[in-house]
Amino acid sequence: MRIIIYTGKGGVGKTSIAAATALRASELGHRTLVMSTDAAHSLSDSLGVSLSSKITKVAKGLDGIEVDVLHELEHRWKEIQAYLTTFLVSQGLDELSAKEMVVFPGMELLSALFYVEELAKEKRYDVVIVDTAPTADTLRLLSFPEVADWYFTRLFGLFRNVIRVARATVGRVMKTPLPSDEVLEKIAELQRRLKAIHELLLNPKITSVRLVVNPEKMVITETQRAFTYLCLYGYTVESLIVNRVIPPDAGDGYFAAKLEEQKEYLEMIDSIFSPVPTLRAPLFSTEVLGKESLRELARLLFANRDPTQVFSSEKPMEIYQDERGDHIIALKLPYLLDRKVDLYTKKDVLIVQLGSYKRLIALPYSLADAEPHGAEFHGEWLQIRFRGEEAEGDAGRPKRRKAPSRRPRHRAAA
């Protein structure tokens, strides 16, 4: 089962792109589910069909769902919800407020990921398309399975033992409720499912992350940051969707200056995200609503291609920690003849210059103040090194990983 995740800054048109992709996929014969994880759902409006927390038929071969976290809590995690609600009530909150408080930010996407895991087992669909919340929430949740597993592995066993001892001692006189065995078992089940989800998400032949961007500076900057963090978490950014590109014949009069500005930003997108495959969708003269508009959007975006195909399964950038404790940013740069590298840092941006090729990389916060300590080519990979003592702390990956290639062929000047 293919999983396609669309993410990007709020307002870039993720929902329209996701809905158009789903409609085209179903019309090509793929059993398709499109799923919204944004708390402010707009998928129903885009498709012109009323959707809810239950899977609903949209068209032949196409179903849709808008994840409702309150519904998920009551039906999937009722033991955990009941305990947390009881705990908060014991601390003085009224019951209605307590039920609202147990809904944590990003739980919509987490619920959606559990749906995806179930559907992968059932083999009910050929492709699941996920329309996500804006970038920041999505990044937090995509990093959650790995981070949660780290905490579960190291702390959950200790927590379970402490609770059992507390029940037999202070729990007999405490007014604050302690979690039951059912709650602890549900938490353990959560860990098992998160591991399975993580394996699905990190497989580039199954899961594709597609970044939706508009040719505007603020959007490009946030997308650049999202790209860095997705690479940091081990995800493959399979393609870039440049949405709302003004057609050249609309550049006269009022839009002339806007068209010139957009050309500059389109060149910036190419320089920042190359060699990630890029697809473009034009700015429509009217709002994209309803199946006919979505079909036209899909036609212009994908042309004759199947939107469920894997446009790229190789990571163009990796961020990891090597055996020496140094942090490495590795860029795949094939077909380069001039391998002399100049490196610059400007605030939290690393600038890589190879002849006429320039790449701007938004550094993760843990490396924002660090200086690069040289670079070298390992095959087609340029590896930029940051000394461990200069970038203390974990750069976001709890495990140290090997470089993409271990045999250096050329050493770059930095």
- Burial status of residue 147 (CB atoms within 10 A of its CB: 0-12, 13-18, 19 or more): middle
Whether the pLDDT of residue 239 is over 80: the answer is yes
Q: What is the C-alpha separation between 51 and 66, in angstroms, rounded?
A: 6
Q: At 183, is the secondary structure helix, strand, or coil?
A: helix
Longest dimension (CA), the chain: 79
From 152-166, 201-215, 350-364, the region with the lowest mean pLDDT: 152-166
Quote the percentage of the chain above a pLDDT of 70: 83
Using the predicted structure, report yes or no on whether residue 227 has a pLDDT greater than 80: yes
Q: 281 with 243: CB under 8 angstroms?
A: yes
pLDDT greater than 70 at residue 319: yes
Nearest one of 100, 97, 49 to 74, comparing CA atoms: 100
79-110 burial string, b = 16+ CB within 10 Å, else e? Answer: bbbbbbbebbeeeeeeeeebbeebbeebbbbb
pLDDT at 354: 72
Binned at pLDDT 50, 70 and 90, residue 107 comes out as low
Q: Is the pLDDT of residue 307 over 90?
A: yes
**Residue 77 confidence (pLDDT):** 64
Spell out the domains of the chain, with CATH numbers in brackets. Answer: 2-69+102-144+193-302 (3.40.50.300), 317-386 (2.60.40.790)
Per residue in 352-401, pLDDT (tens digit) is: 887 666 777 888 888 887 888 888 888 878 899 998 654 444 444 434 44
Predicted confidence at residue 191, as pLDDT, reads 78
pLDDT of 28 higher than 80: yes
pTM (2 decimals)?
0.76
Give the pLDDT of residue 399: 43
All residues at 6 or more sequence positions from 197 whose CB lies less than 8 Å from its CB, including other chains:
113, 114, 116, 117, 145
- Mean pLDDT, residues 76-95 taken together: 72
**CB burial of residue 6 (10 Å; 0-12, 13-18, 19+):** buried
pLDDT at 46 over 80: yes
Read off the pLDDT of residues 401-414 as tens digits, 9 standing for 90 and up: 444 443 333 334 44
Give me the chain's average pLDDT, please.
82
